[in-house]
Amino acid sequence: MNMPEFAKLEISYHPLMEYGAAWELQKERVQAIDAGTASEKLILLQHPPTYTIGSQHHPEHLLLSSEQLQEQGIALFEIDRGGDITYHGPGQLVGYPLIKLGEHGRVDLHGYLRTLESVIIDYLASHGIEGTRKPEYTGVWVGDEKICAIGVKFNKSKHRRGFITSHGFAFNVTEGIGRSGFSGIIPCGIAQYGVTSLEECTGRSFDVAEVAGELVPYFLRHFGYEGSCAPEYAK
């Protein structure tokens, strides 16, 4: 595959970043990619406890009052990605791919979502876990429990054909994350199914930063980036 200018994918990992700062970082980078002044980027990170409500806008799926949110130290953002409400917190690997779609043979918009799912499914398989899709929902499931939520925004390019992606996936790694944050919402508006994590599925302990490094080759392969890139670990 002949890769375009700025084909090198920059990858960074941040141990903890406030949601608002990460959102601004995405928007700034999307504009720079569109203008041709920056390369595509995959941001991997963890957030402090945060609920985000997507463009489907169902605030009734938040089960906590503003007072309870404040008491529990959970931030709340209404944002511009697709999807419903979800939770982010320590122990969850969040990935924000900021990449160009619609030029140089890249996948279509629907295909992009399926490819993101494939990255997680193949990574789970490397640990002996069967990750699956549910046709009516976006994301990755183990049985009837969601292990990875996906919600994206396709930003229309102003200076080139196609789109630039933002937002992305939230992959539950540690065992406690489901009980700590998802109990305060109806995750993605789906009441009949639960959530799980990598640790719960394997019975092993995982370091989120190490999982980030392990996941990168799967992302590179599925999205057609050449060579090997390792995350730059931010302090």
231 DSSP assignment: -
Count of other CB atoms within 10 angstroms of residue 194: 13
The angle subtended at Cα 65 by Cα 64 and Cα 68, nearest 5°, is 80
Helix 208-223 and helix 109-126: axis angle, to 10°?
Answer: 130
The one catalytic residue in 148, 188, 201, 229 is 188
The tokens describing 12, both together, are 């960074």
How far apart CA 233 and CA 220 sit, in angstroms, is: 18
Within 13 Å and on the Cβ side, how many CA atoms surround 220? 18
Residue 188 among the catalytic residues: yes
Within 13 Å and on the Cβ side, how many CA atoms surround 9? 24
Count of other CB atoms within 10 angstroms of residue 217: 17
| Catalytic annotation, residues | 188
